[in-house]
Amino acid sequence: MTERVAERAAVLGYLDGEPVPRDRLDRRLARMRQGSRSAMLPAVGSPEDRQLARWLTQVILTEALCEAEAAARDLPLDPRRYARLDHQAAVEYGSINAAAFQRSPAVRAVALDVTAGVGVVEAELRRYWAATARPVPARWVLRHRLDGGPAHRLGPAGALDLPAALAGALVGAAPGDTVRVTDRLGRHEAHVVEVLPAQELCFERDGPGLRTRLEAAARRRAFAHWLDAARADRVRLVPGLEHPGDPRQPDNHHRH
């Protein structure tokens, strides 16, 4: 029994039946506690600290899984040590997958490889565009001041984004013009920096950019599904380092 407890203490989890050393977690936690954001971390030994360890375990095991997969596929690795996702991509991936993707070149390499064939068919692209596309009204970029106060850059802003009196005064204005108008808010003075003309619906103009965004989202979904299946098949967790959302572990305080 003592040997089993000692083995458990030294193991982070199992990948393809082989132990992943616990010291990968210990080193990562130590670096975090020595870093510039250490004051934001939960107190050592608290339930929140144990949840942090569980979350970080999932990140590390995801990295280890993709390191093994990248080696098996003989994939070239991105030389960047860190690659930041935008907010939408991070939300779509979820915190664990996003953290692993941003930190691990192996995760990024596997993501690229397993989603290489993912795309959006033309009919789906056109249906999405038809359901979401809207004409773009004329917009202005302004240097605006109110009641003689300091000037601030404003825009691009359309008529519905501006006070009605100011929007009316801007009709027909050209770059370099200055318009002045008074309403219940006060005296507006707006110098026109740029005029962006209205744009009608045009699939040929919008389609390429929309395809890029939809295909990126589809690849993220496909990779997240691949990771879920691979972790379920190849990763085994150990007591005390369960998934942080597992309702059976004692520190999961999320209740419905």
Q: Write out pLDDT tens, residues 201-223.
A: 999 998 999 999 999 999 999 99
Tell me, yes or no, whether 113 and 221 share the same domain: yes
Tell me, yes or no, whether 50 and 172 share the same domain: no
Tell me, yes or no, whether 189 and 219 share the same domain: no
pLDDT in tens, 53-106: 999 999 999 999 999 999 999 999 988 889 999 999 999 999 999 999 999 999
| Phi and psi at residue 37, to the nearest 5° | -105, 20
Tell me, yes or no, whether 223 and 99 share the same domain: yes
Q: Domain tally for the chain?
A: 2
Does residue 128 sit within a domain?
A: no
70 exposure class (CB count in 10 Å sphere: 0-12, 13-18, 19+): buried
* Structural domain of 192: 139-196
Does residue 256 sit within a domain?
A: no
Does residue 132 sit within a domain?
A: no
From residue 69, give the alpha-carbon distance in Å to each of 84, 175, 206: 22, 56, 37
Q: In the prediction, which pLDDT does 121 show?
A: 93
From residue 98, give the alpha-carbon distance in Å to each of 70, 83, 87, 101, 231: 18, 10, 10, 5, 15
How many CA atoms within 13 Å lie on the side-chain side of 104?
A: 24
pLDDT in tens, 163-186: 999 999 999 999 999 999 999 999
pTM, 2 dp:
0.77
Tell me, yes or no, whether 112 and 10 share the same domain: yes
Tell me, yes or no, whether 188 and 71 share the same domain: no
Q: In the prediction, which pLDDT does 247 show?
A: 84
Tell me, yes or no, whether 148 and 79 share the same domain: no
Tell me, yes or no, whether 222 and 106 share the same domain: yes
Distance CA 44, CA 139 (A): 53
